[in-house]
Amino acid sequence: MRLNTIAAAACLLAGTATAATEKFKADKDGKYWIYGEGIRAAFIPYGASITDLIVKDQYGIERDVVMGFDNATYYEEDKTHAHLGGIVGRYANRIKNSTFEMDGVKYHVTPNENPTKEHPDGLNQLHGGPDGWDWRTFKVASYTNNSITFSLVDPDGKEGFPGEVVSYVTYTLGKMTWDFKIVAIATTKKTPIHLSNHGYWNLDGFANNETQSVLNHTFYLPYSGQRVDVDNILIPTGDILANKKGSVNDFWSKPKQIASGFKDKEIKDNCGKGCDGYDNCWLVNKPTPDDWRAEGNYVARLQSAWSGIQLDIYSDQEAFQMYSCNFQDGSMTLKKNQGLFDNPDFPRTVPKYGCLVLEVEDWIDAINHPEWHREKKHFIEPGGDPYVVQASYRFSVNSTRVPY
């Protein structure tokens, strides 16, 4: 009965979303604002993306801590398409050789990363392909003062994936909190699903007058003593590696400034061949049973001593990805409410290491690693349980400075 109700709700949601989008009006920049206590945020239908999130720092100054554009139209025009704040899917992260096997049948999905002479479109697929979910315009299904829900119908065969998927994404603000829930339902065929939000963060609002880098932020992953091993192009090898205490990828033994890892020679190629920094998938190994919402049970903490803004991330997911913006090159401009003005030493752009992507997710490319036994989480069937991602981003003020 429960699954039939979910399926019926999915059909209703898909059928009424267009009318709902026409009913709800965005502001002059095409953004939908919602409000909580001490926090406000904006979203757009393109990619169901978060574009702004504003909280006060330790001095009472408002900081927009999310990277994005001032106007919704820029997201579609941006040629770099860095997946700014969007829902990445149908399958987040990378799929090795753009192939997977399901029930003895081999499937080929559309590649879009690491092109070669033999494979000009790419070797692997990243974030659902060249027309993944964050490239598409969702419908606004519901909109209130503190919450907004987007919906998407992903058709059978799109980007090479079998079966239709109906999904909805709900963002809600509370008391200094941003919560989201992503639900995806396979309606016609069994299919792989792996989803996340791809927001870019800088807890100084890009306004730090000491540095443009976020490497001074303190990062902590209390349950992440292991990570997924990857090759030179960030494709999982199948091995699970220990993050030994004191190593570059050790963020579990104690909080540390991200910059501290750059003192170690292990940082070289840590995020792929020729990449010094982070773009890693840490496993979240919590004791069970687990109440993921329980106070203090966060999977990640990010904190800036300069602004005093602290972000604790709670989630029901069993992995966590952090990307240290290794390939930002100063071409991405800041929003009007971010950064410093009239200071030639601090241009109004995002430099290398000027932001962080924080993704709650499951084990990446698990569809190509049956030895991990993640099939039930990654292959979703009609009539079965939906794919669900839940997270709560909780903000507070903490000006503690962790030694470099």
Which of these is catalytic: 83, 127, 194, 198?
A: 198
**Annotation says 198 is catalytic:** yes
**Annotation says 359 is catalytic:** yes
- Residues 106-141 as b/e (b if ≥16 CB within 10 A, e otherwise) read ebebbbbbbeeeeeeebbbbbbbbbebbbbbebbbb
Residue 291 φ/ψ, nearest 5 degrees? -95, 95
Which of these is catalytic: 359, 361, 369, 378?
A: 359
Give the active site residues. Answer: 198, 359
